[in-house]
Amino acid sequence: MKKNIETAPEKCTECMCCQLICSLTYTGAFNPERARIVIDPPREITFTDECVSGCTLCTQYCVYGAITKKSGV
């Protein structure tokens, strides 16, 4: 469980924007399979062990409110 990101899997549309920005930023490629956020049916959102501590970059690219930065963390 990632401490500084709130997930609302029921709002996720599987648009992959979060995965694309994560993989581009940390691996240099637009490749959802290399993202550190995992979108799993049925609508589960998890983070890999490689997810960078303190990072909340992907939340800035989710327009559906499925991942949001927790305040005060």
Which residues contact ligand SF4 (rule: CB under 6 A)? 12-18, 22, 26, 36-37, 39, 45, 47, 51-52, 55-58, 61-62, 64, 66-67
Q: Are 56 and 69 in contact (CB under 8 A)?
A: yes
Q: 6 or 56: whose CB is closer to ligand SF4? A: 56
- What's the closest the beta carbon of residue 3 comes to ligand SF4, in angstroms? 11
CB of 30 to ligand SF4, least distance (A): 13
Rounded CA gap, 60 and 58, in Å? 5
Strand partners, 7: 67
- Smaller CB separation from ligand SF4, 6 or 15: 15
Residue with tokens 């637009």: 30
Q: Are strands 67-69 and 5-7 parallel, antiparallel or unpaired?
A: antiparallel
